[in-house]
Structure 1
Amino acid sequence: MKKRIFFVFIGVFLVLTCLPILINYLMTVGSAVTSNDWIGFFGSYVGAIIGALVAVMVSNLQAKNARKDILEQIEVQETQHKEQINNQKELHKIENRSFIDYTMFESDLLLPDVDAENSFILLHHKILQFRRHNDRNTLLKCQASFIKLDLYGKSDDVLDLRIHIFLYDSEEEDDLYEAGVFKNGLKKNQSIFIPLYLSSQRDTKGLTKLIAYYTTIVGEKMKFESDLLNRRESYYVIDNEVENLIYEREMNQEFYILPGDPSYR
Structure 2
Amino acid sequence: MPRLALCFCLSLTLCACNKAKEGGTQLAAKVNAGEITVHQINFALQNANITSADQGKEASVQVLNRLVDQELLVQQAREKKLDRDPAVMQAIEEARREVLARAYLARLPGASGKPGDEEVKRYYTQHPELFSDRRIYSMREVLIAKEPGVAEKVSAQLEKSKNLEDLVAWLKEMKIRHAANAAVKPAEQIPLESLARFYAMSDGEIKVLDTPQALAVVLRVATRSEPVDIARARPMIEQFLGNLLRTEAAEAELKRLKASAKIEYVGEFAKRMPTMAASAVGRRSAESGFAKGVKGLK
Which TM class, normalised by the smaller chain length?
under 0.3
The structure showing larger relative contact order (alpha-carbon pairs under 8 Å, at least 6 residues apart) is 2
Larger Rg: 1
TM-score normalised according to structure 1 size:
0.18
- Write 1 or 2 for the structure with the bigger share of strand: 1
